[in-house]
Amino acid sequence: MTADLKAHADRLRELHHAGEMLVLPNVWDAASAKIVAEAGFPVVATASAAISAMLGYPDGEGAPWQEMFAAAGRVARAVSVPVTVDAEAGYGMAPRDLVDRLLEIGAVGCNLEDTDHRAGGLVEAGAHAERLAAIRAAADDAGVPIVINARADTFLPASGVPEEERVAEAVRRGGLYLAAGADCIYPIGVSDENDIATLVAGVPGPINGNTSPGGPDLAKLRELGVARVSYGPRLYREALANLKAAVQELLA
């Protein structure tokens, strides 16, 4: 089991450096995971906002971690490709506990954000880097080098970072997080092409981007040098919108 997980972790890490952008149409349950894997995508990634909504809780660690991990485990069991889990801010779990829970459900990667869901704003960058380093050490000790996608949440309005400082602070945090053992930096919410180009140039590692209405498309993100693209809860919300339209048509 450990050998299989290690192979999946190694494969997931390789895909961040393969020269071809890693595209992740994020999923929320076993059925959506199967659709993505059967379409040919080499990795399945969960979206915490979609899973928590499906479970009836708000995003931002509003759902019990046990329910979030149970849902992610059903995703991992449904597919044969590597699975990376949006673990939000880690639910306050000790590093080894977090690693063990991820491996128990069959996940070989995780998103970890630096938003402070209890105090508000962002966790101090040095303290968050220390936590990432402890998680990296725990994963190495467990024998499976899980892939850490470290979110730098400076572009989120709730971060409290002034707009003119968001790029520089994301670059600073990205460097610290990579030095601590993260594999990829995710400046969620950035959409300006110049900002993305600055991040790609300034952060010494892979950058995770997003597509968004009015923002750069996949071709432009590829051109800018983005290594990985997430869709978050976007496809989940589109699926619900289609359901809403269908049931309203039935009423009509």
Which residue from 147, 141, 135, 140 is spatially nearest to 45, judged by alpha carbons? 147
Mean pLDDT of the chain: 97
Q: How confident is the model over 214-241, as a mean pLDDT?
A: 96
User: DSSP secondary-structure letter at 213?
Assistant: T
CA dist 219 and 221 (Å) reads 6
* Total structural domains within the chain: 1
Does the structure show a pLDDT above 80 at 81?
yes
| Dihedral angle computed from the Cα positions of residues 136, 141, 147 and 153, in that order, rounded to the nearest 10 degrees | -20
Residue 128 has a pLDDT of: 98
pLDDT at 1: 73
| Pairwise CA distance, residues 1 & 106, whole Å | 9
The residues pairing with 22 across neighbouring beta strands, listed in sequence order, are 228
pLDDT beyond 90 at 158: yes
Per residue in 164-209, pLDDT tens? 999 999 999 999 999 999 999 999 999 999 999 999 999 999 999 9
Q: At residue 24, does pLDDT exceed 80? A: yes
State which residues form the domain around 161: 2-251
Q: What is the pLDDT of residue 252?
A: 84
Q: Looking at 102-111, 188-197, 213-222, 227-236, which range is the least confident one?
A: 213-222
Q: Is the pLDDT of residue 214 over 90?
A: no
Query: What is the pLDDT confidence band of residue 213, given thresholds at 50, 70 and 90?
Result: confident
Pairing mode, if any, of strands 208-210 and 228-230? parallel
The CATH number of the domain holding residue 106 is 3.20.20.60
Q: How confident is the model at residue 244 (pLDDT cuts 50, 70, 90)?
A: very high
Phi and psi, residue 209, nearest 5°: -115, 180
Q: What is the DSSP letter of 201?
A: H
| pLDDT band (50, 70, 90) for residue 163 | very high
